[in-house]
Structure 1
Amino acid sequence: MRKFRIGLIGLGGMAGEHIRWMKAEDRFEIVAVSDVSEEALAKVGEQLGIAPDKRYSDFARLIEDPDVEAVISVTPNNVHADIVHACLHSRKPFMAEKPFTREFEEAIPLLELYERQPVPAMIAFTYRYTPAFRYARELVREGKIGTVRSFSIQYLQGWGALPNNVPYLWRFNKEITGTGTLGDLGSHMIDMARFLFGEFEELSAQLHTIIPERHDPASGKMVKIEVDDFASFQARMTGDVMGVFQTTRNAIGSGNQHEVSIYGDSGTIHASTLNPDQLIWIREEAPGQLAKTVIDVPKHCKVTQYTDFTALLEGNVPDGIPGFMDGYRNQEILDAIVRASETKASVRL
């Protein structure tokens, strides 16, 4: 089987995960890398055996490189829009990290360009590939818990909590991120709701900053935090399915706790990243008698992100793949949440 020649943009922490995933799939060859850090370019370039002339400080040159067939972008939010634009302009297939853009205004011209000259595109909503979530989607579609009436989704991490004394990072810089926890973790919750239940129709929200300032190692001063580190919202989805969402980086004891509870007329499903290969199914076996079963996820639900990206590059569009429009819609909803929080009013989509 042929291998696709990949240009990798962004060589920070998450890039290592993407490199590992590509190696596991064994359908990709990284032929060029790009980063603003010369040190990172040299280090990762040597690790991957990338020739010095294929180590770009300017991502645009990597995208234009004729040896690069497809682009993987793993960068901070402030360059997402420019990278997607360059890929569309050069007609290069790509997988880009979430959130789609820093703010919704940046997404609008990208949609206009995509509609004129679409290319195979994937947004890295990784949790669509958590087996338990995929199986929950299948059970919901098969009507195993009857008509779905409501659900709750939360995504909790603890690394930003006060005892950890985390310094000022780019994730706290509004000019780079646009939003805080909302865009970082909340975008995954939004995508999971759309993946499971359909479109958002109306929402209300509250954004809050629990830790108002953090120490900046560069300046030695305390810096005011202008982005949220707690977000909660509720939504009405297609078919009057009601959802409640919360996310924070200040949940002590939570490592990477992304989970959903789905409530239907005849049962409940719980799925979580804490137990990705199983889910809990609660249903009535006899009048007044509830059965709670832990179910192993079947093999066909264990699909990887890069398996789907391979299929996309081969000209197929797998069911449930997070594409360009999923990124665009996600950004539209993020914008609605910000507006709902600022106006203290419900926003219709």
Structure 2
Amino acid sequence: MKKFRIGLIGLGGMSHSHIRWMAVEGRYEIVAVSDVNEVALTERGEQLGIPAGKRYGDFVQLVEDPDVDAVVSVTPNNVHADIVRACLQAGKPFLAEKPFTRVFQEAEELLERYEQQPVSAMIGFSYRYTPAFRYARELVREGKLGAVRSFSIQYLQDWGAVSKHTPYIWRFNKDITGTGTLGDLGSHMIDMARFLFGEFKELSAQMRTLVTERPDPATGQMVKIEVDDFVSFQARMEGDEVGIFQSSRNAIGSGNQHEVSIYGDAGTLHASTLNPDQIIWIREEAPGQLAKAVIDVPERCRVSQYGDFLSLLDGIAGESLPGFMDGYRNQEVLDAVIRSSEEKRTIEL
């Protein structure tokens, strides 16, 4: 089968995972790399066996390289829009990290370009590929829970807690990220709700900065934090399901805890990254008699992100793949959360 020649933009910590995931599939060949860090560019280029002429300081040159079939972008938020724009202009398929853009205005401009020249695209909402979440979606769509009345989604981490003494890094820089926890973790919660239930109709939100300053590791001086590290909102979906969302970087004991609980007329379902291969299903066997079962996820729900990206490049992508419009709609909801928190009102979408 055909191998796809990949240009990889961004050689930081997360790139290690993407390189590993591509290697597992066996149909990707990284032929070019790009990064603004010359040391990383040289070191990773040597590790991957990339010739010096295919190591680009300017990502536009990588995108336009005729030897690159598709682009994988693993970068901070402030260059997401520029990289997507370059791929659209070059007509080059791409997989780009979330959030889709830094701010919604960038997403609107990209949509105009995309409508003029669509390109095969995948946005990195990787939790669509957690088996438990895929099985939960299947059960909801099959009506196994009956009518879904409400749900809760949370995504908690603890690396920002006071006791962790986390210094000021780029994820706390508003000029780079746009938001904090909201764009980083909240974008996954929003995508999970859309994956399970469809579009948002309205929401009401609050965003907070719980740890208001952190030490700069270079100077030791305290830096004021201008992005959120806690966000919560409630929403109504297109099927009138109502949901509660919570995300924090200050939840001690939560290493990477992304989970959903779904409440339907015929039972309750729990799925979590803490147990990605099983779901918990609670239902009434008889009036007043509850049965709780831990169910193994079937093999058909084990789909990899890079396996799905191959399907996209092969021209046979399924409807569950997070594409360009999923990125755009996600950014639209992120913007609604920001406006709701700032204006202290319910926002309709």
TM-score, normalising length: structure 1: 0.99
Residue 338 (structure 2) aligns with: 338
Deviation above 6 Å: which 4+ runs of structure 1? none
Quick check: 1:98 aligned with 2:85? no
Quick check: 1:86 aligned with 2:78? no
CA–CA distance in structure 1, aligned partners of residues 36 and 228 of structure 2: 27
CA–CA distance in structure 2, aligned partners of residues 212 and 99 of structure 1: 23
The one-letter code matched in structure 2 to 1:206 is Q
Gaps spanning 5+ residues in structure 1: where?
none
Mapping for residues 242-257 of structure 1, pairs under 5 Å: 242-257=242-257
Residue 238 (structure 2) aligns with: 238
Quick check: 1:160 aligned with 2:151? no
| Displacement of 1:109 | 1.0
Residue 209 (structure 2) aligns with: 209
Q: Does the residue aligned with 1:240 lie in a helix, a strand or coil?
A: coil
CA–CA distance in structure 2, aligned partners of residues 188 and 145 of structure 1: 23
Residue 139 (structure 1) aligns with: 139
CA–CA distance in structure 2, aligned partners of residues 317 and 4 of structure 1: 15
| Displacement of 1:220 | 2.4
CA–CA distance in structure 2, aligned partners of residues 209 and 193 of structure 1: 24
Deviates more, 1:250-259 or 1:215-224: 215-224
CA–CA distance in structure 2, aligned partners of residues 200 and 68 of structure 1: 37
The one-letter code matched in structure 2 to 1:257 is Q
The one-letter code matched in structure 2 to 1:280 is I
CA–CA distance in structure 2, aligned partners of residues 99 and 171 of structure 1: 12
| Displacement of 1:221 | 1.0
Residue 281 (structure 2) aligns with: 281
Residue 64 (structure 1) aligns with: 64
Deviations 1:236-278 (A, max 9, x none): 0011100000001111011100000000011000000000000
Quick check: 1:27 aligned with 2:27? yes
CA–CA distance in structure 2, aligned partners of residues 227 and 347 of structure 1: 21
Gaps spanning 5+ residues in structure 2: where?
none
| Identical-residue share of aligned pairs (%) | 74
CA–CA distance in structure 2, aligned partners of residues 33 and 97 of structure 1: 16
Alignment size in residue pairs: 349
The one-letter code matched in structure 1 to 2:18 is H
Q: Does the residue aligned with 2:239 lie in a helix, a strand or coil?
A: helix
Residue 173 (structure 2) aligns with: 173
The one-letter code matched in structure 2 to 1:19 is I
The one-letter code matched in structure 2 to 1:260 is V
The one-letter code matched in structure 2 to 1:244 is I
Residue 40 (structure 2) aligns with: 40
| Displacement of 1:51 | 0.6
Quick check: 1:52 aligned with 2:49? no
| Displacement of 1:218 | 2.2
The one-letter code matched in structure 2 to 1:137 is R
Residue 222 (structure 1) aligns with: 222
CA–CA distance in structure 2, aligned partners of residues 319 and 114 of structure 1: 19
**Superposed CA RMSD:** 0.5
CA–CA distance in structure 2, aligned partners of residues 128 and 44 of structure 1: 29
